[in-house]
Amino acid sequence: MNQQHQDERIRIREAMDRLLAGEATVSNGSLTVVALAAEADVHRMALLKRHADLKNEFYERVRTETQQVPEAEKRLRETVTKLKKTLANKEAELKKLRQMVTNLTLANAVLTRQQSTAAPSPEPETPENVVRLRPRDT
């Protein structure tokens, strides 16, 4: 590891301590990765990519030291709940549509059967002003 990398890690750990103590100096003090990056004066993507272990450590400390669920996890849980509800609604709709397809298929079969067994209907009378192009099949 180079010196810059080591310095970033030290700043991130110090920023963790300040945020968890409620003594933020640069950020808004929220217990998020964005606030941690701002507090440590490290680019957020550097924190997420190069220092993912520190990000995970931060969230673990938030859980244990503050007895809180991190904001990102709260949002993810809400999204999962909404998606589960949407999925349940879609599954119910799909079940209803499948039943409708079955019913329509059965109705079509009944109507086709009735039509084929019914006596052929008489050919309608041709009005006087109509000339047939093909002779009648008799």
Residue pLDDT tens, the chain, 138 long:
688 888 889 999 999 999 888 888 888 888 888 999 999 999 989 888 889 999 989 888 888 888 777 777 788 899 999 999 999 999 999 999 999 999 999 999 999 888 878 766 666 777 888 777 776 665
**Same domain assignment for residues 11 and 62:** yes
**Same domain assignment for residues 21 and 45:** yes
**Same domain assignment for residues 28 and 63:** yes
Please give the model's pTM, rounded to 2 decimal places.
Answer: 0.52
Q: How many domains does the chain have?
A: 2
**Same domain assignment for residues 60 and 15:** yes
**Same domain assignment for residues 88 and 52:** no
Helix axes 3-21, 52-66, angle to 10 degrees: 20
**Same domain assignment for residues 91 and 51:** no
Contact 31, 71 (CB under 8 A): yes
**pLDDT computed for residue 118 by the predictor:** 72
**Same domain assignment for residues 57 and 77:** no
**Same domain assignment for residues 18 and 32:** yes
Which conformational region is residue 79 in: left (phi greater than 0), alpha (psi within -120 to 50 degrees), or beta? alpha
CA dist 46 and 34 (Å) reads: 11
**pLDDT computed for residue 53 by the predictor:** 92
Tell which residue, 43, 42, 36, has the closest CA to residue 15: 36
**Same domain assignment for residues 32 and 12:** yes
Contact 41, 26 (CB under 8 A): yes
Q: What is the C-alpha radius of gyration for the chain, rounded to an integer number of angstroms?
A: 36
**pLDDT computed for residue 22 by the predictor:** 86
What's the domain range around 82?
71-111
Residue 127 belongs to some domain of the structure: no
Domain limit, last residue, from 68, 89, 120: 68
